[in-house]
């Protein structure tokens, strides 16, 4: 079965950095678009960034553009999110997501989630 396991979350001060990782199993990782979603307490789940099968990035939230970078290593079945210049508004549970994919590896935009992991908490203090 599909498994997505996130790691790398934690507590940092504003301006700091974190790198999230997601290890995937149970499906052909290299054939799917992947993404990161987040949900703040009391808020709605929002998409942060999406990466296609070839490493292209068809979607990045305006709120993180220039600060967060999504990447993937298909040989390791791993997805990453490098987060720099963190702000208190970035505080949320971050989820690794298998994004709905069609054709020869095109990502459904706005991104639709097929599966997600349990999440990893990121807390940014001012």
Which pLDDT tens digit goes with each residue over 17-74? 999 999 999 999 999 999 999 999 899 999 999 999 999 999 999 999 999 999 999 9
Look at residues 60, 121, 124 and name the one whose alpha carbon lies nearest to residue 89: 124
> Within a 13 Å sphere around the CA of 60, how many CA atoms are in the beta-carbon half?
15
pLDDT for residue 103: 87
Does residue 105 register a pLDDT over 90? no
The predicted model gives 77-104 an average pLDDT of: 97
Let me know: does 48 contact 40? Beta carbons within 8 Å. Answer: no
Return the percentage of the chain with pLDDT > 70, whole number.
100
Look at residues 48, 64, 67, 54 and name the one whose alpha carbon lies nearest to residue 111: 48
pLDDT for residue 31: 96
């Amino acid at each position: 079965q599909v498994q997505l396991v996130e790691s790398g979350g934690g507590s940092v001060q504003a301006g700091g950095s974190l790198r999230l990782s997601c290890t995937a199993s149970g499906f052909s990782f290299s054939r799917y678009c992947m993404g990161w979603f987040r949900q703040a307490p009391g808020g709605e789940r929002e998409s942060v960034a999406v990466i296609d099968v070839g490493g292209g990035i068809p979607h990045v939230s305006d709120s993180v553009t220039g600060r967060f970078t999504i990447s993937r290593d298909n040989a390791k079945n791993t997805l990453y999110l490098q987060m720099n210049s963190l702000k208190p508004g970035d505080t949320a549970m971050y989820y690794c997501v298998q994004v709905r994919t069609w054709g020869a590896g095109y990502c459904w935009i706005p991104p639709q989630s097929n599966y997600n992991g349990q999440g990893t908490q990121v807390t940014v203090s001012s």
